[in-house]
Amino acid sequence: MTLYILVAVPRPLNLRSICRERWLSIALILCCLPGIPGLAQTAPAAAEAAPAEAIGRVVLVLPFDNRSGQSTLDWIGDSFPDTLNQRLSSAGFLTISNDDRQFALDHLGLPVDFKPSRATTIRIAQTLDANFVIVGSYTVDKNRISVQAQVLNVDKLQLSQPLDDSSELTRLFDVENSIAWKIARNIDPHFNVARETFLSASGGVPLSAFENYIRGTSATAPQEQIKRLQMAIAITPNYPAALLALGKAQFAQGDFDRAAATLAKVPHSDRRALEAGFYLGLARFNSAKYADAEAAFAFVASRLPLPEVVNNQGVAASRQGRNAVPLFQRASNADPNDPDYHYNLAVALLRQGDFSGAQREVDLTLKLRPTDPEAPLLKARINSGRRPQTSSPPNKSGTTTKAAAAATSDSDFDPLERIRRTYSEASFRQAAFQLDQMRAMRVAHLPPAQQATEYIQSGKGYLAQGLIPEAEQEFQAAIAADPSSADAHTGLAEVRTHTGNIDDARKEAERSLKLQPTVDAYLVLAKIELQAKQLSASAADVSNALKLDPKNPAALAMRQALLARGQRMP
């Protein structure tokens, strides 16, 4: 499990202006982490050098133009940013989300369905500080879709040659994934993930479910949103993207119990689990299920300790009468410029009888937000030497009771900690992206064999999560660092089996065995032979694996499977 130590960042506009400060903050935090050899020496230098590289990979994908003359196919244009963002993110680019794109349009006073000219496209890109903008169009004729995309290099004001692809409309995923691969190669000529890996990355979602999901996320009317997303889930009940979108739509409508039930279905292993967990916590909090809310926030905080997540975990704990001072302290340390975190810490310290600490924090609140309506009342309450009640119920829509909000003196004011209702996934993606950049710079200073080991470990982690394009990049990097690494070739062989490229998978496994016989390489070959119904060859590979490790669980399981098919073992 990867734990990202993050600092708060503002709304992701003007990324270039905030990049250097965030890099330096992350570097200082990483220097203090134990168990990361060599990072303390390289992180400051990496923080100085990395922003130029990091900000050079920010990509904005705009909806593609429908030139088919069929308005019923407009949804396809909206689907390109969804698919391309996923693929380009897996390729190591920082993509700008749909929410942030809409924010930029609002910021520029443009309607949501605005079709920008090239000049306006550049303005949008500059507003979001994107380095590259992906524009495109498509036509559909006789159930066949033809797509053309171009890459606008904002820094150089250059537009690439058209990148084309076409296929049957039923294979829309293949076309979009293929276009994404060509875009990645156009921006980064050194990108070496196979096209087949991109083609296999859509997860088997039926096109009808995907259409309803896109129509649902693009709809402006809440009822239409929910209806379409429910249709997508009816077709594919375990569709994480649709579950998250439906849960958020239900939450926005105040249907907290249904929202919680929907969001709880997003698997913890899915990339969307963190955002789902945050809104699950809010839904349970608004239903006064504070223990369940705390558990949801704690899960997110264990992997993504953004200050808003830790803050909400503290609020949920406080509603149960527990001491939340340590959690609020973490939130305010992570984002010392947020007045609400200092306010919450002041309330929590007051509950514990720490009047001087509470006074310090409420003064910081007023310094950061002089017009805060409740901070003066809280300060008066602190000065009176009276602790707040511990059983004051919050209302469902705000952070304090109506009586507290209307209070005019400390005598009728009972302070409650404030919950944060917005979740900045973009902050996490930006910081995680930059951490990856920093890690790459650190690894580059290691001997080749150690570089390969680091990349292999990361690749195995991605494989375990089903993130195949990311895994291939790591194994390719390991091979580039140390071509004699048997484990790197084995990892690439496993990637090839996932993408259905059996011939290349066999070649990589055999290459690994020539370098060094390993259990994992033999088992990759055994699975390939078993799939081809070549049982005797598979049995020989399993036998060789057991000679290296007689107690290996995976080899023993395959041996049992072969015996169950009547195959004798060598």
Do 231 and 189 share a structural domain? no
- Measured between alpha carbons, how far is residue 1 from residues 36, 303, 399, 468 in Å? 15, 8, 33, 17
Q: Which residue has the tokens 């990867």?
A: 2
- Answer yes or no: are the C-beta atoms of 136 and 147 closer than 8 Å: yes
pLDDT by residue (tens digit) across 45-104? 444 444 444 446 889 999 999 999 899 999 999 999 999 999 999 888 988 887 777 777
Do both 378 and 508 map to the same domain?
A: no
Q: Give residue-wise pLDDT tens across range 219-230.
A: 989 999 999 999
**Beta bridge partners of residue 163, listed in sequence order:** 149
- Average pLDDT of the chain, as a whole number: 84
The answer to whether 174 touches 199, Cβ cutoff 8 Å, is yes
Q: For residue 402, what pLDDT is reported?
A: 43
Residue 302 counted as domain residue: no
pLDDT 10s digits, 96-147: 887 777 777 777 777 766 676 767 777 778 777 889 999 999 999 999 999 9
What phi, psi does 166 have (nearest 5°)? -155, 155
d(CA 242, CA 250) in angstroms, rounded, equals: 12
pLDDT tens track for 461-485:
888 888 899 899 999 999 999 999 9
Please compute the mean of the pLDDT values over residues 490-506 and round it to a whole number.
94
Are 270 and 196 found together in one domain? no
Across 130-144, 196-210, 289-303, 518-532, least confident range: 196-210
Residues 35 and 184 in one domain: yes
Give the pLDDT mean for 278-307.
Answer: 94
CB-CB contact of 480 with 455 (8 Å): no
Per the domain annotation, does 530 fall within a domain? yes
Chain-centroid distance, C-alpha 517? 36
Cβ atoms of residues 309 and 300 within 8 Å? yes
This prediction's pTM: 0.80
Q: Count other Cβ atoms within 10 Å, centred on residue 215.
A: 20
Label residue 533 left, alpha or beta by phi (over 0 means left) and psi (-120 to 50 means alpha).
left
Compute the distance between CA of residue 559 and CA of residue 537 in angstroms, rounded to an integer: 12
Question: Residue 239 sits in a domain of what CATH number?
Answer: 1.25.40.10
Give pLDDT tens digits for 160-179: 999 999 999 999 999 999 99
Regarding whether 157 and 16 lie in a shared domain, the answer is: yes
User: For residue 29, what pLDDT is reported?
Assistant: 38
Token pair in block for residue 54? 């990091």
176, 202, 228 - which closes a domain: 202
Closest CA to 392 of 383, 402, 384, 382: 402
User: Looking at the structure, do residues 13 and 107 belong to the same domain, yes or no?
Assistant: yes
User: Can you name the residues that pair with 59 across neighbouring β-strands?
Assistant: 95, 132
Q: State the Cα–Cα distance between residues 89 and 272, nearest whole angstrom.
A: 14
- Whether 213 and 233 map to the same domain: the answer is yes
CATH number at residue 84: 3.40.50.10610
User: What is the per-residue pLDDT across 305-338, written as a single tens digit (0 to 9) for each?
Assistant: 889 999 999 999 999 999 999 999 999 998 899 9
Domain assignment present for 569: no
Which residues have C-beta within 8 Å of that of residue 277, sequence separation ≥ 6? 263, 266, 296, 297, 299, 300
Task: Name the pLDDT band for 41 (thresholds 50, 70, 90).
Answer: very low
- Eight-class DSSP state of 561: H
Same-domain check for residues 20 and 133: yes
Distance CA 501, CA 495 (A): 9
Determine, yes or no, domain membership for 547.
yes
Q: State pLDDT tens for residues 26-36.
A: 333 334 433 33
Do 452 and 497 belong to one domain? yes
* Structural domain that includes position 554: 425-564
The C-alpha R_g of the chain, in whole angstroms, comes to: 27
pLDDT digits (tens, 9 = 90+) for 261-281: 999 999 998 888 999 999 999
How far are the Cα atoms of 268, 272, 309 from residue 294, in angstroms, in the given order? 16, 19, 10
Measured CA to CA in angstroms, residue 336 lies from 300, 345, 420, 434 at distances of 21, 11, 15, 21
> What pLDDT is recorded for position 465?
81
> Of 221, 253, 288, which one is at a domain's C-terminal end?
288
**Residue 295: inside a domain, yes or no?**
no
pLDDT at 439: 77
Measured in whole angstroms, the distance separating CA 535 from the mean position of its chain's CA atoms is 41
Q: How many helices (H) and strands (E) does the chain have?
A: 27, 7
| Same-domain check for residues 30 and 159 | yes
Is the pLDDT assigned to residue 392 strictly greater than 60? Answer: no
**Max CA separation in the chain (angstroms):** 86
* Torsion angles phi and psi, residue 395, rounded to 5: -80, 175
Rounded-to-5 percentages of helix, strand, coil across the chain: 65, 5, 30
Which residues have a Cβ under 8 Å from the Cβ of 435 and sit 6 or more positions away? 4, 26, 30
Instruction: Please determine, for residue 199, whether its predicted confidence score (pLDDT) is greater than 70.
Output: yes
Judgement on whether residues 545 and 438 belong to the same structural domain of the protein? yes
The conformation of residue 160, written as its DSSP 8-state character, comes to: P
Residue 40 has a CB neighbour count (10 Å cut-off) of 14
Asked if 116 and 208 touch (Cβ cutoff 8 Å), the reply is: no
* Cα 313 to Cα 297: distance, rounded to the nearest angstrom: 5
Q: Which two tokens stand for residue 356?
A: 């001087």
298 within domain boundaries = no
Is 297 within a domain? no
Structurally, how many domains does the chain consist of?
4
Whole-number Å distance between alpha carbons of 369 and 20: 26
CB 215 within 8 A of CB 229: no
**Boundary of a domain, candidates 186, 202, 218:** 202
125 domain residue, yes or no = yes
**Residue 22: its pLDDT value, please?**
39
Separation between Cα atoms, residue 351 and residue 390, nearest integer Å: 8
Q: Six-digit token pair at 240? A: 């994480």
Residue 378 scores a pLDDT above 90: yes
Specify whether 46 is located in the same domain as 115.
yes
